[in-house]
Amino acid sequence: MPGAEIAALPELEGTDLRCFGRLIQCFCFIDLNLRRVLELFELAGKLPEKWKKDYPKIPDSSLADALSNVVRALDPKIEPIEEIFTWLTAISKFRGFRNLAGHAAAKRYPNEDVYVFANKNTNDAKKAGQPLPKHGLMLSVVDRSEFLDMVQAAVDGQKWLSERLTKWSAAYSKQPATAVTS
């Protein structure tokens, strides 16, 4: 799709912008709470050796992986390990949508209930497994209802993480943290 065609697509509407903003802010809280959880486990001496060299500068994209490594060493008789892995996997999946909303130019498509995302970042194209041709764009099309469902699921994941932080803080810290939610 040439740039002129993308430019001619309808702009996002207020509800779309609120949805994108909600997702981005949700991930601000997810990343904040993932970092707080990792700090809690680092202070409790439970951060795996693999992550100690990068802590506290672990990239946002690796926070859920780092926490997954911590969780593997927790007692499954005390912790709901499978539930935790399910949520951390979902949070990692949601991050891709967050990155679309935060880094790609978005438009609506006429007579279809989809978002069209355009990006010119070669690193993002590599992550998506798409080579970015010279003078080309990386385009992604996402069904709007799927996107809205994912935003709600990300909000649910953020709420879960906040509640889990409170429980872990009570169990593993001498100074329990209070949850920070959006």
pLDDT of 9 over the 70 cut = yes
Q: Is 151 exposed, middle or buried (0-12, 13-18, 19+ CB in 10 A)?
A: buried
Task: Look at residue 178 in the predicted model and tell me its pLDDT.
Answer: 65
What confidence tier does 41 reach under pLDDT thresholds 50, 70, 90? very high
Percentage of the chain beyond pLDDT 70 is 96
Task: Look at residue 179 in the predicted model and tell me its pLDDT.
Answer: 65
Q: What is the pTM of this model?
A: 0.89
Task: Look at residue 28 in the predicted model and tell me its pLDDT.
Answer: 97
pLDDT of 177 over the 70 cut = no
What confidence tier does 136 reach under pLDDT thresholds 50, 70, 90? confident
What confidence tier does 15 reach under pLDDT thresholds 50, 70, 90? very high
What are the distances in angstroms from CA 106 to CA 37, 81, 92, 143, 157?
33, 37, 21, 13, 24
The percent helix, strand, coil of the chain (3-state, each to 5) is 60, 10, 30
